[in-house]
Chain A
Amino acid sequence: DGGITQSPKYLFRKEGQNVTLSCEQNLNHDAMYWYRQDPGQGLRLIYYSQIVNDFQKGDIAEGYSVSREKKESFPLTVTSAQKNPTAFYLCASSRGKTGNTIYFGEGSWLTVV
């Protein structure tokens, strides 16, 4: 099946540790995105990438890092610098052109313990 796969679905992290969330898509989409969603809140853009080896900061990039070495993959690292990392993280992709549908993965729940 074509789609976006995020892993892990649930993750617990100790304070001070970095953690990497995986996002893989087989839709041949150029653009990929990471959003953060806090309980009862909307979606806030962390980082996005429109082509391989290029990415831009979104509205809340501090404490996060990404890479886009392959078209299919857009991993997100939540660093220890992120003060409130507990949230639901959504990876998404689109063909990248104006007006294309954004397809979302099933999300990853990160809890800092």
Chain B
Amino acid sequence: GQQVMQIPQYQHVQEGEDFTTYCNSSTTLSNIQWYKQRPGGHPVFLIQLVKSGEVKKQKRLTFQFGEAKKNSSLHITATQTTDVGTYFCAGGALTSGTYKYIFGTGTRLKVLA
């Protein structure tokens, strides 16, 4: 079945350093979404990418969708302590005739002040 993997699983950075998480799907996706889950909280939607090669920015966050629509990345420039949390990608695709999202394994980010 469809699988979505993320790397790295964990990342510790010093405040001010950059951070990148990568998402890879075993199948071609219709779209990809990114979510952030703060410690003890629930996932919150960040952004959606639909087009092949699409790049979107939200302040210090840059999101990319691969040309083949099978991979994506999230890059945070100059991390802050408020960036702490787990970042999930969710790949949307038709599976067995039904459209659904498969979440990646997540990357847990810790930012050291």
Q: Is the CB of B92 within 8 A of A43?
A: no
Chain A residues with a Cβ under 8 A of chain B:
35, 40-45, 48, 50, 56, 58-59, 90, 98-99, 101-107
Tell me the interface secondary structure of chain B in the complex: strand
Could you tell me the dominant secondary structure of chain A's interface residues? Answer: loop
Are A98 and B103 in contact, CB atoms less than 8 angstroms apart? no
Q: Which residues of B contact A44 (CB under 8 A)?
A: 103
A-B contact pairs, 15 of them (CB 8 A): A35-B103, A41-B106, A42-B88, A42-B103, A42-B104, A43-B43, A45-B102, A90-B43, A98-B31, A99-B50, A99-B92, A101-B33, A102-B33, A102-B45, A106-B42
Closest to A105 in B: B42
Contacts of B100 in A (CB 8 A): 45, 48, 58
